[in-house]
């Protein structure tokens, strides 16, 4: 809000009133979605400055949990409100609505327990303590085949019980449209939901009715966990025949202008759609163009379709990938190892940069299609570690490092490092390839979690050509 000077006391008073209204409305809405909202979402919502942004936030919140964005009704929102009414009555304790108890939240996130055992207690309470038992079900398994949850006489988890953290993980699973997020424009206003959704365009039509007007292929390269934990960002590269698309020249370099987009379908048939992105892709000596694609996904199996279309001629092609993203956070998990030609710092590429999906802040990762590098190149090895066990001091203690293998034998090894902060990002390089003979190699990361005493290995292949 612009400052108007000391004479604008009336405006200040009105602004204060609007702020108070926002606070009141924010608290009411937060109470309504308390079982579902993620900690990062709650923090972002409380930081909003006006009712307009709050209303838009609520639309995006529910859209992120909508199993089918193509229907007018949000099926999960209807289901959730029905469950809230049920648990409010079923678990109401001492004037507190059931949806504000741990009983209610567990019931909403996990469904009704398979069995309930009432426990004896000498304490005077509003209800007898209970132990709820959940057995393995489709899409969710428990250690030993079942999960027992103890709830006290106020329908809350006992103090010190860490199952509350697991409830946040369960709430993350309700986000089925992770490609929708809370973004801000240049004026720090929340971007409207309608502007986050893909519009009917030629490349979206191509993804619905795939065709192949030119040679085109795709490969996954990177997988990293999102900050809110609700999704995994997957990025990769596409490679296409530049002779079939419009090519221009810029600064002595041939450039193919294409539009790239992605659809991804999970095992339940839910489709995630990325926004279109126009790309200015350099044309290589082999007369091919390479560009990046990226989309946030839920952990699990997906069929991904990546499309590129020439906006001038409408020629296009679609490549299909089978992707299985990892579940991060339940125990130590290592992201796929990346072999990069470069890591550029202090860069601010535009959205039409072919490697825009590999740019984070002012850092750009530079992969190569097929993980193929020349002997004149250098490579950097990189990945990320999540979910390592913590010691009594709350620190992780993971040690290890990278090595390069040829025919199963280590020919180069980086010094081991110790990681005590999460997420950790083990790296090695740049490694000059001039002394390496042409052929196929393995970049391998070996780790040991010193808290659990478990060993982990992650690796990927790359190729060196003359």
Share of the chain above pLDDT 90, in %: 68
Per-chain mean pLDDT for the chain: 89
- DSSP, res 100: G
3 pLDDT above the threshold of 50: no
Residues 6+ apart with CB under 8 A from 425: 382, 383, 384, 385
Phi, psi (5° rounding) for residue 246? Answer: -70, 125
**Over the stretch 348-401, which tens digit does the pLDDT of each residue have?**
888 999 999 999 989 999 999 999 999 999 999 999 999 899 888 888 999 999
Helix, coil or strand: residue 110: helix
**H or E segment at 284?**
none
5 pLDDT above the threshold of 50: no
Q: b vs e for 133-169, b when ≥16 Cβ sit within 10 Å of the residue's Cβ? A: ebeeeeeeeeeeeebebebbbebbbeeeeeeeebbbb
Give the HSE-up count for residue 239: Cα atoms under 13 Å, Cβ half-sphere.
13
**Over the stretch 26-65, which tens digit does the pLDDT of each residue have?**
778 999 999 999 999 999 998 888 888 999 999 999 999 9
286 pLDDT above the threshold of 90: yes
80 pLDDT above the threshold of 90: yes
101 pLDDT above the threshold of 50: yes
**What is the structure's pLDDT at 32?**
93
CA-based nearest residue to 426, from 451, 405, 396, 453:
396
Q: Positive or negative, the Cα torsion across 95, 100, 103, 108?
A: positive
Distances (CA, A) of 143 to 134, 146, 147, 285, 381: 11, 6, 7, 54, 34
Q: Which two tokens stand for residue 193?
A: 């939901």
Q: Which two tokens stand for residue 83?
A: 């469950």
Q: Kindly report the length of the chain.
A: 466
**91: preceding bond cis by omega (within 30 degrees):** no
Q: What does the pLDDT average to over 204-225?
A: 96
> 198-326 adopts what CATH topology?
Immunoglobulin-like (2.60.40)
449 pLDDT above the threshold of 90: yes
**What is the structure's pLDDT at 123?**
61
14 pLDDT above the threshold of 50: no
pLDDT confidence tier of residue 21, bands split at 50, 70 and 90: low
**What is the structure's pLDDT at 15?**
36
pLDDT confidence tier of residue 20, bands split at 50, 70 and 90: very low
**Over the stretch 167-208, which tens digit does the pLDDT of each residue have?**
888 898 899 898 899 999 888 899 999 999 988 999 999 999
**What is the structure's pLDDT at 22?**
59
Task: Show the DSSP H helices in 33-152 as ranges.
Answer: 39-46, 51-63, 75-90, 102-110
**What is the structure's pLDDT at 13?**
31
**What is the structure's pLDDT at 124?**
56
Q: Which two tokens stand for residue 347?
A: 């860069």
**What is the structure's pLDDT at 16?**
38
**Over the stretch 307-329, which tens digit does the pLDDT of each residue have?**
999 999 999 999 999 999 988 86
C-alpha to C-alpha distance for 44 and 24, rounded to whole angstroms: 16
Q: Which two tokens stand for residue 336?
A: 């796929």
- Where do we find the tokens 């193509």? 70
**Over the stretch 64-79, which tens digit does the pLDDT of each residue have?**
999 988 888 999 999 9
User: Which architecture does CATH list for 329-466?
Assistant: Sandwich (2.60)
pLDDT confidence tier of residue 122, bands split at 50, 70 and 90: low
Structural domain spans, the chain: 9-172, 198-326, 329-466
Q: What does the pLDDT average to over 1-12?
A: 34
10 pLDDT above the threshold of 70: no
Secondary structure (DSSP) of 39-51: HHHHHHHHT--SH
Helix, coil or strand: residue 130: strand
pTM score of the predicted model: 0.80
């Amino acid at each position: 809000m612009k400052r108007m000077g000391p004479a604008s006391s009336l405006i200040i008073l009105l602004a204060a009133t609007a702020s108070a209204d926002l606070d009141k409305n924010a608290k009411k809405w937060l109470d309504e979605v308390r079982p579902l909202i993620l900690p990062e979402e709650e923090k972002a919502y409380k930081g909003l400055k006006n009712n307009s942004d709050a209303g838009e936030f609520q639309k995006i919140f529910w859209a992120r949990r909508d199993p089918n964005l193509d229907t007018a009704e949000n099926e999960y929102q209807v289901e959730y409100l029905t469950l809230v009414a049920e648990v409010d009555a079923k678990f109401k304790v001492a004037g507190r609505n059931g949806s504000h108890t741990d009983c209610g939240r567990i019931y909403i996130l996990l469904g009704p327990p398979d069995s309930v055992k009432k426990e004896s207690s000498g304490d005077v309470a509003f209800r007898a303590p209970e132990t709820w038992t959940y057995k393995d079900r489709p899409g969710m398994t428990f250690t030993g085949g079942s999960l027992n949850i103890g709830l006290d006489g106020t329908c809350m988890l006992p103090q010190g019980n860490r199952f509350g953290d697991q409830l946040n993980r369960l709430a993350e699973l309700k986000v089925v449209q992770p490609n929708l997020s809370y973004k801000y424009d240049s004026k720090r206003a929340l971007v409207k939901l309608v502007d986050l959704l893909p519009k009917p365009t030629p490349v979206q039509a191509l993804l619905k009715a795939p065709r192949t007007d030119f040679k085109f292929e795709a490969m996954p390269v990177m997988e990293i966990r999102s900050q809110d934990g609700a999704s995994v960002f997957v990025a990769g590269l596409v490679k296409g025949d530049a002779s079939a698309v419009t090519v221009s020249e810029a600064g002595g370099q041939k450039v193919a202008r294409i539009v790239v987009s992605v659809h991804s379908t999970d095992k339940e048939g839910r489709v995630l759609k990325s926004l279109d992105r126009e790309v200015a892709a350099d044309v290589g000596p082999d007369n091919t163009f390479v560009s990046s694609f990226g989309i946030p996904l839920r952990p699990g199996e997906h069929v991904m379709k990546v499309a590129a279309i020439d906006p001038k001629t409408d020629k296009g092609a679609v490549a299909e990938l089978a992707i299985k993203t990892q579940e991060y956070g339940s125990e130590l998990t290592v992201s796929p190892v990346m072999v990069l030609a470069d890591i550029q710092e202090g860069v601010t590429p535009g959205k039409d940069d072919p490697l825009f999906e590999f740019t984070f802040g002012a850092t750009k990762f530079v992969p190569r299609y097929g993980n193929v590098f020349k002997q004149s190149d250098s490579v950097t090895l990189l990945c990320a570690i999540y979910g390592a066990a913590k010691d009594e001091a709350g620190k992780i203690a993971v040690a290890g490092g990278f090595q390069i293998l040829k025919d199963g034998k280590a020919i180069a090894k980086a010094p081991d490092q110790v990681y005590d902060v999460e997420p950790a990002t083990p790296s090695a390089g740049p490694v000059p390839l001039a002394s390496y003979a042409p052929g196929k190699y393995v970049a391998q990361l070996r780790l040991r979690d010193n808290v659990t005493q478990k060993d982990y290995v992650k690796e990927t292949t790359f190729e060196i050509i003359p």
